[in-house]
Amino acid sequence: MKVAILGYGTVGSGVFEVINSNPAGIARRAGEEVTVKYVLDLRDFPGDPVESVLVHDFAKIVDDPEVGVVVEVMGGVEPAYTFVKEALLKGKSVCTSNKELVAKHGAELLEIAKQKKENFLFEASVGGGIPIIRPLNQSLTVDEIQEITGILNGTTNYILTKMREEGLDFDTVLADAQAKGYAERNPEADVEGYDAGRKIAILTSLAYGMQVDYEDIYTEGITKITKDDIAYALTAGADIKLFGTSRAVDGQVYAMVAPRMIDKSHPLYAVNDVFNAVLVRGNFLGDVMFYGKGAGKLPTASAVVSDVVDAVKHQGKHVMTLWNSRKLKLADMNTLVNKFFVRVPENEKEKANCLFSVEREFTAEDVKGQYAFLTAPMAEGDFHAAAEQLTVLNYIRAELA
């Protein structure tokens, strides 16, 4: 089987390295030898081993009947979408790590793959090296999925971990993460939660078999999380994580990305640094969790190549994935019930206690002049109506006993 790789960036060079490093092992798993015939990139790489297979023109790949599997690791919607669609229409399977592409066009590309009896696989688009897409499609097939909650973005998890461990504020840690290459120069997609939003959109689409548009998902990032929030959380034995969550309640599905305050009874409590994890709650299974490196060249490449192996094993047979283009209408966030951690100026304590049913009060040694409390479970809409009457310094949804 001849493979073509579109894009020779971090993941693309990892895929090239992984395929070339263990050809016998891969052949044993795939049932035949797998070699890279082309790598597409606009750039040249003089002296790099990729040079001998480097091409600049996609037509060369798509018109070569010997290429049976195309690996798309360019990122971004275009030209990835055009290339992937063309490859599928020519009867080639496609494996991708591109979450933007999958979130936006997954349903359509799966439909083409199905018609062509080929496969469109995207294990690496969520959770990097963590097997989550295939387990969701092939293992968790019996349960009604009640909740999916993931720490889906390594950059924000790293920032929150450092803020907690070193008592630093968001801007300082972000600058450090950028210096270390853990955060992009333009960090918006990570810190505003957009990246996590695309990933929870993909997982939710797969869990319910219908299209969830990430634009419809309520999304809050971590930029408003301060040292004070973390100080209060620590005193309460809690921690703050950025969660992508979808939850089925009474036949309706809620989806959101937002920071959440959790304590150590939560299965995701111990997931720190750049690690990712996804918790799936089924009506029979209870909680199952998948954990690992959510990014990085080789873990992500390993997941992409496991898709290549699967594509080679299933030539001419579409592996069923339930995800049609009918749109899943998400439930109104205002009706979602949560507890809230809230900080207000100290002089609003009495007012806060009138407006909210306070379940618990928080203290933090180094924070003065504030009143921090946990509300009883209440609907989002009711929370915001009451919060408007206070000078809310910050609020965070909370899962605390």
Q: Which is nearer to a copy of itself, 60 or 134 (CB)?
A: 134
Catalytic pick among 92, 99, 104, 199 = 199
* Minimum separation from the CB atom of position 331 to a copy of itself (A): 20
Q: Is 309 in the site for a copy of itself (CB under 8 A)?
A: yes
Q: Is 263 in the site for a copy of itself (CB under 8 A)?
A: no
Among 269, 351, 360, 378, binds a copy of itself (CB under 8 A): 269
Among 108, 143, 192, 220, binds a copy of itself (CB under 8 A): 143
* Minimum separation from the CB atom of position 296 to a copy of itself (A): 8
Q: Is 74 in the site for a copy of itself (CB under 8 A)?
A: no
Three-class DSSP labels, the chain = CEEEEECCCHHHHHHHHHHHHCHHHHHHHHCCCCEEEEEECCCCCCCCHHHHHEECCHHHHHCCCCEEEEEECCCCCCCHHHHHHHHHHCCCEEEECCHHHHHHHHHHHHHHHHHCCCCEECHHHCCCCCCCHHHHHHHCCCCCEEEEEEECCHHHHHHHHHHHHHCCCHHHHHHHHHHHCCCCCCCHHHHCCHHHHHHHHHHHHHHHCCECCHHHCEECCCCCCCHHHHHHHHHCCEEEEEEEEEEEECCEEEEEEEEEEEECCCCCCCCCCCEEEEEEEECCCEEEEEEEECCCHHHHHHHHHHHHHHHHHCCCCCCCCCCCCCECCCCCHHHCEEEEEEEEEHHHHHHHHHHCCEEEEECCCCCCCEEEEEECCEEHHHHHHHHCCCCCCEEEEEECC
Q: Is 29 in the site for a copy of itself (CB under 8 A)?
A: yes
Among 306, 336, 383, 387, binds a copy of itself (CB under 8 A): 306
Among 225, 257, 262, 303, binds a copy of itself (CB under 8 A): 303
* Minimum separation from the CB atom of position 352 to a copy of itself (A): 34
Q: Is 130 in the site for a copy of itself (CB under 8 A)?
A: yes
Q: Is 220 in the site for a copy of itself (CB under 8 A)?
A: no
Q: Is 248 in the site for a copy of itself (CB under 8 A)?
A: no
Q: Which is nearer to a copy of itself, 2 or 134 (CB)?
A: 134
Q: Is 294 in the site for a copy of itself (CB under 8 A)?
A: no
Q: Is 296 in the site for a copy of itself (CB under 8 A)?
A: yes
Q: Is 90 a catalytic residue?
A: no
Q: Is 134 in the site for a copy of itself (CB under 8 A)?
A: yes
Which residues contact a copy of itself (rule: CB under 8 A)?
18, 22, 25-26, 28-31, 123, 129-131, 134-135, 138-144, 209, 264, 267, 269-270, 282, 284-293, 296, 298-299, 301-303, 305-306, 309-310, 313, 317, 320, 322
**Residues labelled as active-site residues:** 199
